[in-house]
Amino acid sequence: MSAFSDPFKEARSEFGVMQCPFHGENITMILRHEDVRKAAKDWQTFSSDAPFRVPIPSEEDVRSMRQLPIETNPPEHTDYRAIAEPFFQRAKEPEMMAKVEALLTGMITQALGREIIEIVNEFALPVQSRALTYLLNTNEAEADTWIGWGIHVFKVTGGEFKKGTVLEDYLHRNFDEAEANPGADFFSALVKAEYRGRKLTREECMGFANLAFAGGRDTIIHTISCALGYLAEHPEALEFLRADPKRITLASEEFFRVFMPLTHIGRVCPADTDVNGVTVKAGERISLAWASANFDETAFPQPDEVRLDRKPNPHLSFGFGTHLCLGAPHARLILRTLLKLCCDRVKRITIIKAEERVEHEAKFDRTLGYDLLVVKIEAL
């Protein structure tokens, strides 16, 4: 699979930036690792206080509220983040770790009992959805609804943005229930939370929940799929990890670096700004190109090689600075647990059929992983 191809190499080396049209808007992409890190920390110059404009392409047509805390700057961001962070830190608790291990053990047992299994929709999506119920402390049966939404909350797989308000209607129903019968779940916590001495508004609650459901799907689903695809294409990699389970932590970080589903994320320049010789006008967007930064030769020796013992590995797949991804501990728990169980129980993975998922833009094509991955998993 060419999921670790680097379409930004030439522009990154020569210019450090690349201008690319996205849905009628010309956006300057910052490509180098150190430049991306500096920009991610400089919220005064590159602002996140831009409702609907942080994702690329923009999402005005598919959601009606600002996502929190990602579409805010400090100090508001600091106070908003403090509300949600305790839930996302639950991924570090022993009870949560045990639940995820039991979930993945069951999923692998099922996969071993089948002749073949399609990984993206039949394995990775259920794992992501059911693990999210643990993180949000909701009924696991809710995962069946989320699985029904498919790989993308806002888009059909490989297609256009979904129209309608399926996610928003679902969230409103859950907040109505939490207000009437509050419990210990994520929705109830938001209903009871305070921001600077007042209760959150419904729009603010929706902003937190919208991001919780939209933000972590691709990262987990496609990293699981790509990791298993890689192990299938490189059986020696599984033997390498099996020989020393301590290598799993480093290997998972390398998979996050290489198989980055999110190409970039937007920021808005409040004033005219020079970005590596390109003038970005006030109100225009730049992008922090995580996927390019993750292959910068100055930060990663031989970046096109997948090195399962790469150290150090300062990848930017979870962002950098103020907006470091809240879901990072959750994603790491799932992938590390999966790799451990593969070492313990899987002899070989064989690809039967694969369809790559490719992002087509005016200036680049980038392979993101799989739309379809059918494999045979053999027991150890």
Q: What is the mean pLDDT of residues 127-153?
A: 93
What residues contact residue 237 under an 8 Å CB cut-off, 6+ apart? 230, 231, 251, 306, 308
Range 37-54 average pLDDT: 97
Residue 231 within any structural domain of the chain: yes
Nearest CA to 271 among 261, 280, 262, 263?
280
The whole-chain average pLDDT of the chain stands at 94
What confidence tens digit (pLDDT) does each residue in 311-348 have? 999 999 999 999 999 999 999 999 999 999 999 999 99
Would you say residue 2 lies in a domain? Answer: no
- pLDDT value of position 39: 98
Confidence (pLDDT) at 57: 86
Q: Whole domain around residue 190: which residue ranges?
A: 9-379
Asked, for residue 202, whether it belongs to a domain, the answer is: yes
Q: Tell me the C-alpha distance between 369 and 302, whole Å.
A: 21
The CATH number of the domain where 292 resides is what?
A: 1.10.630.10
Residue 87 lies in a domain: yes
Residue 3 belongs to some domain of the structure? no
- Residue 264 banded pLDDT, cuts 50, 70, 90: very high
Q: How confident is the model at residue 248 (pLDDT cuts 50, 70, 90)?
A: very high
Residue 162: band (very low, low, confident or very high) from pLDDT cuts 50, 70, 90? low
Q: Number of folded domains in the chain?
A: 1
For residue 157, name the pLDDT band (cuts at 50, 70, 90). Answer: very low
Give the pLDDT score at 216: 80
C-alpha 4/C-alpha 84 separation (Å) is 33
In a domain, 315, yes or no: yes
pLDDT attached to residue 100: 98
**In this predicted structure, what is the pLDDT of residue 163?**
56
pLDDT at residue 2, rounded to an integer: 47
Predicted local distance difference test score (pLDDT) of residue 3: 47
User: What's the pTM value of the predicted model, to 2 decimals?
Assistant: 0.95
- Answer whether residue 132 is part of any domain: yes
What's the rounded mean pLDDT across residues 56-64? 85
Q: Cα(215)–Cα(318) distance, rounded to whole angstroms?
A: 11
pLDDT at 313: 98
- Structural contact between residues 224 and 123, judged by C-beta atoms closer than 8 angstroms: yes
Task: Indicate if the pLDDT at residue 161 is higher than 70.
Answer: no
Residue 229, SS3?
helix
For residue 58, what pLDDT is reported? 86
In a domain, 1, yes or no: no
**C-alpha–C-alpha distance, residues 220 and 261, integer Å:** 9
Q: Which range (3-17, 227-241, 351-365) has the least confidence?
A: 3-17
**Separation of alpha carbons 310 and 298, rounded Å:** 14
Cis peptide before 75 (omega within 30 of 0): yes
Mean pLDDT within 52-63: 88
Find all residues with CB under 8 Å of 136, minimum gap 6, and list them: 87, 185, 186, 187, 212
Q: Over the stretch 64-109, which tens digit does the pLDDT of each residue have?
A: 899 999 999 999 999 999 999 999 999 999 999 999 999 999 999 9
